[in-house]
Amino acid sequence: MTIETKLELTEKVQNVIEQIRPYLQADGGDIQFVELTEDLTVKVELQGACGSCPYSLMTLKNGVEQAVIKAIPEIKSVDSI
């Protein structure tokens, strides 16, 4: 992956996360983009209530990951650090 491609994908991922953020904040949580790996995995940090919620993995996989992959099919997965 070229630097230009990585920067472009990173910007797209951050835009999707910004669209998702208000829904998480409404429940007392938040999400922070950490990095886009070479194997096209997005690393995020769930914060606030989302960091300790027993449903955070479901939110991450069924909400955040699906939204990111739908918008950017090149992305393989979204994982929490």
- CATH superfamily entry for domain 3-80: Fe-S cluster assembly (FSCA) (3.30.300.130)
Span 41-77, pLDDT tens digits: 999 999 988 888 888 888 888 889 999 999 999 999 9
- 29: three-class secondary structure by DSSP: strand
Q: Give one DSSP letter per residue of 55-68, joined into a string.
A: THHHIIIIIIIHHH
Q: What is the pLDDT of residue 57?
A: 85
Domain ranges across the chain: 3-80
Question: For the CA atoms of the chain, what is the radius of gyration?
Answer: 12
